[in-house]
Amino acid sequence: MKFRNLLKILSLAAAIGAAAADGGGNLIRNGTFSKPCRLPGIPHEWEVQRPNPKGGETETKLDGGGFLLYFTGPEYVDQIRIKQSLKLEPGKVYEFQYDYRSRLDAGLKADATFWGTGVFMRSWWQVPSEKWTTVRGLFAMADNVDGNVILTLQNRSRIKLWYRNIILKPTELAKEDIPKLIPEFKVHSVESDDVFILPDTKKKSADFIVNGFSDENLKKFRIEADYYPTPERMVRCRVAGRNIFVPMSAVPDGESTLIGKLYSKADNALIATAQVRLQRVMKLPAGVDFSTPAEVRLEDGRKFFPVGIYAGNGWNFSPAELVKNGFNVIHTYATNRRDVDKGDEEGRARNLKLLDDARKLGARVMVQLPHDYTEKAGESARLPHWLDVYKDHPALFGYYVDETRSIKNTPYPVIKAAYDAVRRHDPAHKWFSYEGPDPNLRDSMDAIIYGVTGPEAVKLCMLNLGPDKPVIHCYGQKDFMAQSATSLDYNQSNFVMPVIWGARGIFYFTYSNLRDRKVNPRCAELKPRVLDTARRFGEISQSIVAGDPLPKWSDTVKTTGKLEYKAFADQGACYIFCGVAADKETGGTLTFTPPAGKRLRDVLNDRPYPNTGELKLELSPGQARIIEVK
């Protein structure tokens, strides 16, 4: 069966050239861009689109047998795309293929993406390639969609990029065949000090591995890796089997990029890519202590561990239900309306009712700032009047902005002007930014909301943004517009490992994953995995920031293998957070000797451990626990 499926995909690949030439079986109209243009510079059957019509300057044209698109200026570099609407069959598996080339620059941000397939995005991200490169992939349409799909070929950067020979064909494969034919390709650092490199390193190379990649796959696929010490300079890395080696002598101070590439040996098509950011610190700045991450403080100075949830785009949720399930901070995108201070009386009333409800429940609301006021030059002067609606409400947690730089490329001075306007008018409340740890935003945020996926993440935030900026872990994107439900282990790990690594807050995105079958058809299966975890975590969350000294017996905690842990004490109780990161190949153990008479409990699974003089816990990669000793 496996051999027969491989023959299917290889025969499909062999037929691609003929399909491109005569259109046979290709569902893409004018995928070769060969038909005369109806409008200047816009290929027949295609549409050029700017999602933000007021964004930066671009160039789009037919050029050298392909379609060229890129941003020509440095400001508001967001998205320029060419798109085509399609009607596909629900439940069907399709093969997608295209050629591209670009300038050799690691600053390239570009993707080919299908929208409407039943997941949020089905994307293939481009990596720098001076020569025409063929990309090929497979994807399955979900059963619960109408089949109306949009293909976008995008560029989100100033790097010149060309597309050509776009092909989409139905196959006879089953959804279950896809991972057998196109394996998962993830590149991980062997150790955390391979990706976050401190001054005292003695290593000759930074070492990476493609975890879980079988010997059988190595026979069918070729791994290559390019390292970019600077965006425009590339070093070819040594690859041995699943292992990738970056010479330490090539790694400069600051950030650099490793790009892994997976090619089919049958026809040299690029099947998958993976990018890893390396950070090297030649000299630690004064005042940075990675062992003491910053904590969130409320307007009265009290320490607070936020357990938050993105509740949705409106007000169609129950704050009481969220608080009952452990969340103490609620966010809704409905609060970013720019006209709540005048005109939109309904929106103003609903937002204030949310704040009132949260106050009665002992929770807080994170209010989103209007995009126009924070992302457009000259608009920050309008913020004080808007802030007056919220700033004195006792349930206000703080203000929120998202991706103002990382996606929308808002100029730094515009972001800084908005930040300064907010802090001048309301110095009591913090500005929380969903962003990457961009050092140019150091003075334009008070805390960062970021995916803490390894021990290097919080260290990077402390280094780039300053040690005074709390880091709040955000997860749940994997469940959003998905056809699968993440496991209980996955959800528990996302409440434990980031805390071990220094996160001092957890946010889940988004509540609709758990209650809307259009967002996630397996929401009923997913809901208890998230909410049970959040509720049980919420019961002990403030102990993380209590700051009590650890008991003497905690010195007996010992670990083996890849298990990591962190202990916290609060009013006589001790909580041991422990786990093994999901990207590790092996697990580990934790042992300790609790005092006689103490009760031991697995917090997240709400079950006791026996106190027999020594507790030994064995965990596999991706598993995590919180042990209460009380």
Q: Are residues 197 and 312 in the same domain?
A: no
Q: Are residues 87 and 230 in the same domain?
A: no
Residues 237, 226: contact at Cβ < 8 Å? yes
Q: Domain boundary at 245, 280, 315, which? A: 280
* CA contacts within 13 A on the Cβ side of 458: 28
pLDDT, average across residues 133-154: 96
> Residue 13: inside a domain, yes or no?
no
Domain check: are 498 and 382 in the same one? yes
Report if residue 180 sits inside a domain.
Answer: no
What's the average model confidence in pLDDT over 45-53?
Answer: 84
DSSP 550-569: PPGGGGG-EEEET-EEEEEE
pLDDT: which is higher, 102 or 315: 102
Q: Which residues make beta-bridge pairs with 139? A: 94
Q: How many whole angstroms separate alpha carbon 424 and alpha carbon 231?
A: 37
Beta strand segments in 72-197, E = 80-87, 93-102, 110-115, 122-125, 133-140, 148-155, 161-170, 187-189, 196-197
The whole model's pTM is what?
Answer: 0.91
User: Does residue 527 belong to any structural domain of this protein?
Assistant: yes
With respect to residue 287, please indicate whether it lies within any of the assigned structural domains. Answer: no
Residues 151-170: pLDDT tens digits? 999 999 999 999 999 999 99
Instruction: Specify the DSSP element, H or E, that contains 366.
Output: strand 364-368
Cβ distance 151 to 113 under 8 Å?
yes
Specify if 20 maps to a domain: no
Contact indicator for 411, 428 with CB cutoff of 8 Å: no
User: Do 263 and 142 share a structural domain?
Assistant: no
- pLDDT at position 212, please? 86
Structure tokens at 200: 């005292």
CA distance 161 to 64: 12
Q: Is the model's pLDDT at 14 over the cut of 60?
A: no
Q: Are residues 522 and 606 in the same domain?
A: no
How far does Cα 207 stand from its chain's mean position? 23
**Is the confidence at residue 609, as pLDDT, over 80?**
yes
pLDDT in tens, 323-332: 999 999 999 9
Residues 224 and 332 in one domain: no
Q: What number of other Cβ atoms are within 10 A of residue 222's Cβ?
A: 13
pLDDT at 19 over 70: no
538/556 same-domain check = no
Question: In this structure, which amino acid lies at residue 322?
Answer: L
Check residue 568 and give left, alpha or beta (phi > 0: left; psi -120 to 50: alpha): beta
Whether the pLDDT of residue 599 is over 70: the answer is yes
CA pseudo-torsion sign 458, 561, 629, 552: negative
* Statement: residue 127 has pLDDT above 90: yes
How many other β-carbons are positioned within 10 Å of the β-carbon of residue 288? 13
What's the structural domain count of the chain? Answer: 4
448 and 568, same domain (yes or no): no
Average pLDDT of the chain, as a whole number = 93
Give the tokens for residue 544. Answer: 């993380």
- Give the model's confidence band at 42: pLDDT under 50 very low, under 70 low, under 90 confident, else very high: confident
- Given pLDDT bands bounded at 50, 70 and 90, which one contains residue 338? low
Query: 228: domain CATH number?
Result: 2.60.40.10
Task: Count how many residues are written for the chain.
Answer: 630
Same domain, 557 and 534: no
Question: Would 213 be classed as within a structural domain?
Answer: yes
Question: What tens digit of pLDDT does each residue of 452-466 get?
Answer: 999 999 999 999 999
Instruction: Choose the final residue of a domain: 518, 545, 572.
Output: 545
- 353 and 492 belong to one structural domain: yes
State which of 495, 518, 545 marks the end of a domain: 545
Nearest CA among 143, 27, 154, 45 for reference residue 94: 27
Q: Same structural domain for residues 36 and 134?
A: yes
Tokens found for residue 292: 């003491």
pLDDT tens, position by position, 196-255: 999 999 999 999 999 889 999 999 999 999 999 999 999 999 999 999 999 999 999 999
Strand 80-87 versus strand 66-71 pairing type? unpaired
The three-class DSSP label of residue 267 is coil
The residue segments making up the domain with residue 55 are 25-173
Residue 337 lies in a domain: yes
Token readout for 458 is 């919080």
Q: Please compute the mean of the pLDDT values over residues 340-365 and round it to a whole number.
A: 88
Residue 474 within any structural domain of the chain: yes
d(CA 575, CA 177): 44
Distance of CA 553 to the CA centre of its chain: 38
CATH code, domain carrying 590: 2.60.40.1180
Q: Which residues pair with 222 in a beta bridge?
A: 263
In this structure, what CATH number is given to the domain that contains residue 393? Answer: 3.20.20.80
Instruction: Give yes or no: residues 164 and 201 share one domain.
Output: no
Tell which wins on pLDDT, 19 or 448. Answer: 448
